[in-house]
Amino acid sequence: MNNPQHPSESDLALLAGGEASRVRRLLLDRHVRGCEACQETVAAYRDLRDDVAEGDLPGVNWNFLAPEMRANIQVGLEAGACVGTSPAASRWAVTHSWASAGPRLAVAFATLVLLVVSGFYVRDIRTRPATVPADATPVLESTSTGVGIRIADKSFMLPSHSDTASNQTVSARGDVEARVVDDKGSVTINNVYLQ
Amino acid sequence: MSICSKFGAGALWALAAMAGSLLGQDTPLDAANSVKIDLPADAPLNLISTTMGDSRATSRGGAIVLDLHMGLTLRNSGFKHIRGVTLLITAQEFAPGGKGSVARPSIDVPPGENFTLPIDIRLVRPVRESSGPLVRVQLDGVLFDDLSFFGPNKLSSQRALTFWEVEAQRDRSYFKQALQARGENGLRQEILASIAKQADRPQLDVSLTRNGRATGAAVPATDHVAQFAFLNLPGAPVQPLEGWAAISGNEARSPQIEIVNNSGKPVRYVEIGWLVKDKQGREYLAGSVPASETTMVLPSGQHTKLRQDTALKFSRQGRPIEIDGMTAYVSQVEFADGRVWVPSRRDLDSSPLLRITAPSPEEQRLADIYAKQGLAALVAELKRY
């Protein structure tokens, strides 16, 4: 992908994730529409992103963390307000009262910016699961061709052996059992679990 | 490859998998780097050798599909005959399709003897989890000829292996009696009847999802709640009383069945066989409704409900099967002392409905020996133990 006629790999990854700037996206879209190789690269990055969105940071409750982060910032603001000033600083403050507010204002302003950025970030993370296809419910399947799992349009089947008798039994608990007798006359039982 | 490092996939495999993803390639697996085989130090099995066959890993988007065709040669290093073994195969513990198991029931391995266990299974794991081996093979359990057990039993292998062994003893005894009472012709008739029954058994295609959801995001409307009819087997220690499932076309959701323990002993596990009937009156084995995995002890004379929050969709040859009726029967019971009950051959012959139930693994194996090697091989096999 070092060909100067193709966009860089990082640009294609940003495009796949919907994170390229508007202008850049227009330019990239124009190229990708006419370039089969780049279309494949973008599709591969989209698949990877979907997979990561499904399973990344599984234990983090962002709804819970958002108010906690805001509360921490508030505590920081209040702590800043409680810090006393030296006599020299007080004298300086009398003569430069507007300027004396500068550091506190700067801290407050910086904190406010942090709050806004944090809030934006938290909102962004929370919306990520929406990129997972709605029909991504795992389905356990037992068919005449084999047993396996289907997730959205992806299917991972364990095919039946065409030359041996097979018996498959589905348990409502969430697993399927497939039995085959091999050419040496031994039974092997494979179990596939929904989870 | 910036995405790989972003998600912490530092190992060489992630790079190979990503490259494979983009180029559409797959990679052969080797035993030394791809698979970790864990046998407990005190296990009655020693690993003698491993073959990887045509085992391969293929990248599909952000996932690696592992197609395993392995063979493990193990030695019985204990002092008892081994009757069954179960291995847990894990590519990723908590993702759908990341875990499977391979069991070999109906064997008779004397102390000091080797046997080979094939692992033909397909598993999935994400590319990003690329540190360490791709697949872990662990021993889940070994059952001996005196029905004692060794192993961590994470998959309830003790129960499954014990049920298979008790069914095997029942069916071996049945065919041995046929041979003894009616000679080779009598045995031939019985095994031919078994083969015919297995060939005639209609099998359904079944799709199963959790939480009572159908195979889409939305929960479908329920047409009606259908009650189970029950087939009471004379010797069953547990009796089903009433049960129902929500039906919508070819989908049955959230089956629940109330049972009572009619035996004099506490029961800790029950499994119900589930038959469905279509609009044309044809019957099929739909599957089973087991008790939940949490510890259940049902004292003598007490009632409980078996519930499974799943949805099952039935079809045959690509066409949905409209559910017109459901029948259930008790297929397995485990008592609190570890003993098990399975229907007798007489129970199974008591209703034409039960012709559609699956044969035991042992009956399937004996029928296969006759079909592939002839009557002499079957007689020799029955005389082995």
CB contact under 8 A, A156 and B124: yes
pTM of the model: 0.72
Q: How far apart are CA B384 and CA B367, in angstroms?
A: 16
Which pLDDT score is estimated for B188? 97
Strands, DSSP E only, in B127-248?
135-144, 149-150, 205-210, 224-230, 238-248
Q: How far apart are CA A132 and CA B133, in angstroms?
A: 28
- Is a pLDDT exceeding 60 seen at residue B319? yes
- Tell me which chain B residue has its CA closest to the CA of residue A179: B361
**pLDDT single digits (tens) B40-56:** 999 999 999 999 999 99
Provide the pLDDT confidence category of residue B38 given band limits of 50, 70 and 90: very high
| Minimum-distance CB partner of B101 among A148, A165, A191 | A191
Which pLDDT score is estimated for A132? 40
Find the mean pLDDT for residues B293-301: 82
- From chain B residues 164-183, the ones with a CB under 8 A of any chain A CB are none
Highest mean pLDDT among A17-26, A153-162, B259-268: B259-268
Say what the ipTM of the complex is: 0.82
Quote the Cα angle for B92-B94-A193, to 5°. 90
Q: Tell me, yes or no, if B120 comes closer than 8 A to chain A by beta carbon.
A: yes
CA separation, residue B265 to residues B240, B258, B343 (Å): 17, 18, 17
CB contact under 8 A, A172 and B312: yes
- The alpha carbon dihedral of A43, A47, A48, A53 has a sign of positive
User: Among A55-69, A129-143, B171-185, B197-211, whose mean pLDDT is lowest?
Assistant: A55-69
Q: Is B175 left (phi over 0), alpha (psi -120 to 50) or beta?
A: alpha
CB contact under 8 A, A149 and B293: no
Considering just the CA atoms, what is the radius of gyration of chain A in Å?
29
User: Among A89-98, A169-178, B62-71, B208-217, whose mean pLDDT is lowest?
Assistant: A89-98
Closest CA to B123 of B69, B64, B61: B64
- Tell me which chain B residue has its CA closest to the CA of residue A134: B217
B63 or B121, which is more confident: B121
Query: Which of A147, A182, A189, A194 to mutate against chain B (most B CBs within 10 Å)?
Result: A189
Q: Tell me, yes or no, if B312 comes closer than 8 A to chain A by beta carbon.
A: yes
- Is a pLDDT exceeding 90 seen at residue B168? yes
CB contact under 8 A, A189 and B22: no
CB contact under 8 A, A149 and B97: yes
CB contact under 8 A, A48 and B127: yes
| Minimum-distance CB partner of B107 among A142, A144, A186 | A186
Which pLDDT score is estimated for B330? 94
Q: Tell me, yes or no, if B373 comes closer than 8 A to chain A by beta carbon.
A: yes
Computed over every residue of chain B, the mean pLDDT equals 87
CA separation, residue A173 to residues B96, B272, B382 (Å): 14, 12, 35
Find the mean pLDDT for residues B285-307: 86
What percent of chain B lies above the pLDDT cut of 70? 89
